[in-house]
Amino acid sequence: MTRLTPLLRTTALAAAALSFVTIATAEAKDWRGWNIHPPTYPNGIALDQFAKDVTEKTDGRVTATVYHNAVLGDQPDAIEQTRNGALDFANFSMGPMGPIVPETNVMSLPFIFSSIDQMHTVMDGEVGQSFSDALSEKGLVALSWFDSGARSMYNTKRPIETPDDVKGLKVRVMNNDLYVNMIAAMGGNATPMPYGEVYQSLKTGVVDGAENNYPSYDSSNHYEVAKFYSTTEHLIIPECLCISKASWDALSPEDQEIVRQAAIDAAMKQRELWAVDTQKAKDDVVAAGVKINEIADKKPFQDAMKPVYADFIKANPDLEPLITKIQSTK
C-alpha cells in the first residue's frame, strides 16, 4: 500500500474533494424558467408548482426557478433563448411562435378552433403531437398545453359590433404577420409590439386598441385605459410548457420522466385555475367600469377572415390538410 506523507495526504484529500465538487456541479442543474405574467396569474402559479415539483422530485439534481413578469426579456427573445439553451423552460403562447415554427401558425388562424373544448380535443390528439414534433425540430420540447381562453378586441374609442367598427383603428398585435393581415382584413392598422409596451401605448394613443383574453386584459391593467371590450373571440391560441431541447437532452431518462409528469400536473393545475380566473377577471373589469359588448353573431367576423385564409393557404399550401383536419374535428 502506498504511504502518503501528511502533506501529500492533505493534498490528495483536497484534490478528491475538489473533483467531487466539480462532478457535483456538473451534474446539478440550475434551471431558469421564463414567464411573461405575474406570479399570481394561473400560468405563474402552475409554473411555480412545476419548478417546485422538479426540484423536489429530482432530489435537487435539477433546481428550477421561475422568473416572472418577463424580467428575462419579451416573448420572441425568450423563445430564442430557450431554443439556444440560455433559458431552460418557459410557458409560450403559440402566437409569436409562428415566425419560428411555421406549422404553429395554423393555430393563429382566426376562428380555426370552434370552441375551447374542441381545441383541447385537437391538441390532445395526433394534431397536437404533430405540433410538438415541429417544435422539437426547432429546439423546444412541448411537454404539456396550457389554456389561454379566447382573445377579444378592446380599444379606447368605441364598442366593436361588426368588422366595420375596426376601420381606422390602430391595434397592437403579437409579433406575427398573420395578425397584421387579420386586422387589415377588417380595415384596421396593426402594430406588432411587445406585451410590456402595450399599456403605455394605449395610454398615450400610440395605439387605440389591442386584443387579449380576460385574465391578461385584467392583469396587464389594459382595462384601465381601454374601456371598450367586445367579445370577438377571434383567436383561441394554445400555450405550451416548453423545455429547451438542450436542457432536456442533458437529463437522464429517469429525470425526463419526472419533468414530463411535473409538466402534465402543472397543465392540469393551470386549466383548473384558468376557468376560475377568467370569470374573476371579467367581474373585476366590469366592476372597474369596463363596457363589455357581447357579440352573439360572429359570422360577419368569420367572413371577413376569408382573405386571411386564402393568403395563408397560398403561401403555405402544404399546411392546408392540417387546417382541414382541425376544422373537421368535432
Q: Which residues bind ligand GTR (CB under 6 A)?
A: 36, 75, 93, 95, 148, 174, 195, 212-213, 216, 239
Torsion of CA 125, 265, 213, 130, to 10 degrees: -30
Produce one character per residue of 95-107: b if its CB has 16 or more CB atoms within 10 Å, e if not.
Answer: bbbbebbebbbbb
Q: How far is the CB of 173 from ligand GTR (least distance, A)?
A: 8
Of 33 and 95, CB closest to ligand GTR: 95
What's at 160, amino acid-wise? I
Residue in the structure block whose three cell numbers are 409554473: 47
Q: How far is the CB of 209 from ligand GTR (least distance, A)?
A: 12
Our measurement of the distance from residue 47's CA atom to the centroid of its chain's CA atoms, rounded to an integer in Å, reads 12
Of 292 and 313, CB closest to ligand GTR: 292
Of 107 and 251, CB closest to ligand GTR: 107
Instruction: Compute φ and ψ for 151, nearest 5 degrees.
Output: -95, 135
Coil vs helix vs strand at 140: strand
Q: How far is the CB of 283 from ligand GTR (least distance, A)?
A: 18
Of 152 and 181, CB closest to ligand GTR: 152
Q: How far is the CB of 184 from ligand GTR (least distance, A)?
A: 18
Burial class (CB in 10 A: 0-12, 13-18, 19+), 66: buried
Q: How far is the CB of 225 from ligand GTR (least distance, A)?
A: 15
C-alpha 136/C-alpha 158 separation (Å) is 42
Of 195 and 312, CB closest to ligand GTR: 195
DSSP-derived secondary structure letter, 155: E
Instruction: Compute φ and ψ for 246, nearest 5 degrees.
Output: -60, -45
Q: How far is the CB of 89 from ligand GTR (least distance, A)?
A: 14
Of 214 and 312, CB closest to ligand GTR: 214
Of 53 and 239, CB closest to ligand GTR: 239
C-alpha 289/C-alpha 161 separation (Å) is 19
Q: How far is the CB of 82 from ligand GTR (least distance, A)?
A: 13
What's at 193, amino acid-wise? M
H/E element, 145: strand 140-146
Candidates 242, 238, 40, 60; CA nearest to 135 is 242
Cβ–Cβ under 8 Å, residues 106 and 324: no
Cell numbers representing residue 1 in the block: 500500500
Q: How far is the CB of 180 from ligand GTR (least distance, A)?
A: 14
Q: How far is the CB of 95 from ligand GTR (least distance, A)?
A: 5
C-alpha 205/C-alpha 187 separation (Å) is 18
Of 85 and 196, CB closest to ligand GTR: 196
Of 199 and 265, CB closest to ligand GTR: 199
